[in-house]
Amino acid sequence: MVGRPSPSPPPVRSSVSTIRTIVRHAVAAALLVAPALAAAQGPASTGTVTDGVNDLAWQVSVNSGAFFNAFLVDPRPGVWEANSPGNYQWIGAARSGSQQGGVPDGAARFAYTYRTTFLGTDLASVTFRCAVDNVVRSITLNGVTVDASCGTFHFGALGTLSGINAGLNTLQFATAGDGVTDGLLVDFVAVTTTPEPASLALLATGLLGIGVAVRRRRAA
């Protein structure tokens, strides 16, 4: 009696080759988007780029005077939103947050302009939140008003920066205070990136390759 031929062993070599192909496509796709993510860091939250006393990423002007590096306000008034060192900290025009001639009456006798600059490479938008003592007069990005506001002492609702230039951008917060522990707190929560068209095409090619490899593997 002639026995039936044994079934052929599974194509191990072919399966391994297919898996390797899938991995190569996945790695290639990841490498395409990595440079865009690395470049699109967005602006620095207040109090995160410091020398321990001054904020090196934010400058401030008092009553339309010259700009200088803002200070980390210390000690922080207990009524203010708590600092989160490494993520965000309060800044002001003085280490104490107070100005000579300040009176704790809430009057807007001192005008402050806080500003920071950043590169907008591959940035579509930036989500942020902010707090102020005493009030925010305006928020502008490259001279265009941003439809957002800051909470008093504590974070307010989330705002969005859009219309970001691919090159250098200038973000400004115009505030006012009574001269006694005035300050600003800004936390950039998230960034949305926009890969370049060429990167999108290459990424699509990489993802298509993954799909083809998967279909071939299933058909084998």
Query: Are residues 215 and 188 part of one domain?
Result: no
- Number of domains within the chain: 2
Mean pLDDT to the nearest integer, 160-180: 97
Mean pLDDT to the nearest integer, 39-49: 85
Report pLDDT for 32. 40
Question: What are the pLDDT digits (tens) for 210-220?
Answer: 454 445 555 55
Q: Is residue 45 one of the residues assigned to a domain? A: no
Write out the residue range of the structural domain in which residue 25 sits: 12-39+196-219
User: Is 82 in contact with 72 (CB distance < 8 Å)?
Assistant: no
Residue 184 sits in a domain whose CATH number is 2.60.120
At residue 17, does pLDDT exceed 60?
Answer: no
Q: Is residue 85 one of the residues assigned to a domain? A: yes
At residue 18, does pLDDT exceed 70?
Answer: no
Query: Are residues 163 and 202 part of one domain?
Result: no
Strands (DSSP E) contained in 34-182 are: 54-62, 68-72, 91-92, 110-119, 123-133, 135-141, 144-145, 151-152, 159-161, 168-177
Q: Is residue 117 one of the residues assigned to a domain? A: yes
Query: Are residues 175 and 117 part of one domain?
Result: yes
> Which is it for the CA torsion 161, 165, 167, 171, positive or negative?
negative
User: Is 93 in contact with 131 (CB distance < 8 Å)?
Assistant: no
Three-state secondary structure call for residue 218: helix
Q: Is residue 48 one of the residues assigned to a domain? A: no
Q: Is residue 76 one of the residues assigned to a domain? A: yes
At residue 144, does pLDDT exceed 90?
Answer: yes
Distance CA 57, CA 44 (A): 7
User: Is 136 in contact with 150 (CB distance < 8 Å)?
Assistant: yes
Query: Are residues 206 and 107 part of one domain?
Result: no
Beta pairing, strands 135-141 & 159-161: unpaired
How would residue 106 be classed by pLDDT, with cut points 50, 70 and 90?
confident
Three-state secondary structure call for residue 31: helix
At residue 167, does pLDDT exceed 80?
Answer: yes
What are the residues whose beta carbons fall under 8 Å from the beta carbon of 59, sequence distance 6 or more? 67, 68, 69, 70, 114, 115, 116
Report pLDDT for 191. 95
Query: Are residues 23 and 104 part of one domain?
Result: no
Report pLDDT for 123. 96
Q: Is residue 182 one of the residues assigned to a domain? A: yes
At residue 27, does pLDDT exceed 60?
Answer: no
